[in-house]
Amino acid sequence: MLVPILVIASLVSLYIGSYLLNKKVEVPEEFKLLIDDIQCTSCHISTCSNKK
Amino acid sequence: MSFTLFATAIISAMLINNVILMQFLGVCPFLGVSKKSSSAIGMSAAVLFVMVIASAITYTLYDLVLYQYGIPYISTIAFILVIASLVQFVEMFIKKTSKSLYKSLGIYLPLITTNCAILGVSEGNITNIWTSTLPYWDGLLLAVTTAVGTGLGFGLIMFAFSSIRERLDASNVPSAWKGVPISLVVAGIMSLAFLGLAGII
């Protein structure tokens, strides 16, 4: 019973860690220009890093 | 493992069991990101990229952890978490390293977290390929080959569908059929056409 809980807990921690790390890494200024004209009309992901 | 086996796996995954038209997975980006060919190509490249890496990781996780510890029933939730984490890592890596890759894949990567085609391929690898007697490396190679075929099939349909939609935008379609209705009719006809490929292999 403990093993599946440990596996899921470690995967959840991995996701949270990767999300926080990704959030910390800023999109370089030169890259931001590339996505200025993107219209995110078909996607409703609230955590998308491209949303302004 | 022969070349024929891998060629069969690629053709089967790409054309005969096409992920969009035959399995109806990944229909959200199929309809949402197919208005322009450039967007469709970018999305397809991102899906192919993540699908191949996700297949390798999920197959390994299943074979070396979930099966070994007798917990294969948590595979779905484990795969979802692996794919979501993988997308974050890939996005972070691309942000730090490659401008051109970020330009072509960057905006589509967050969409892939919710793309059921990725999860479908990972689950399909376990259902159709993995057996307890199959050597790890053979199974892994076959899983990755299937992922490549599926990703290419996804790209093929996305490109074909986006090209048709671009031409439809420029043609004289009755107002009641404009936009989504005519697109869905086209998707249905494409699906019927691909049904004709069933049974080739």
ipTM of the complex: 0.77
Domain residue spans in chain B? 35-158, 171-201
Instruction: Report pLDDT digits (tens) over A1-52.
Output: 788 899 999 999 999 999 999 888 877 776 666 554 455 555 566 666 655 5
Looking at the partner chain, which of B29, B78, B107 has a beta carbon nearest the beta carbon of A8?
B78
* Helix (H/G/I), strand (E/B), else coil: A45: coil
Instruction: Report pLDDT digits (tens) over B37-95.
Output: 887 888 888 889 889 999 999 999 999 999 999 999 999 999 999 999 998 888 888 88
Asked if B162 and B40 touch (Cβ cutoff 8 Å), the reply is yes
Asked if B81 and A49 come within 8 Å (Cβ–Cβ), the reply is no
Q: Is the pTM of this model over 0.80?
A: yes
Contacts A7 to B, Cβ<8 Å: 65-66, 69, 71, 74, 78
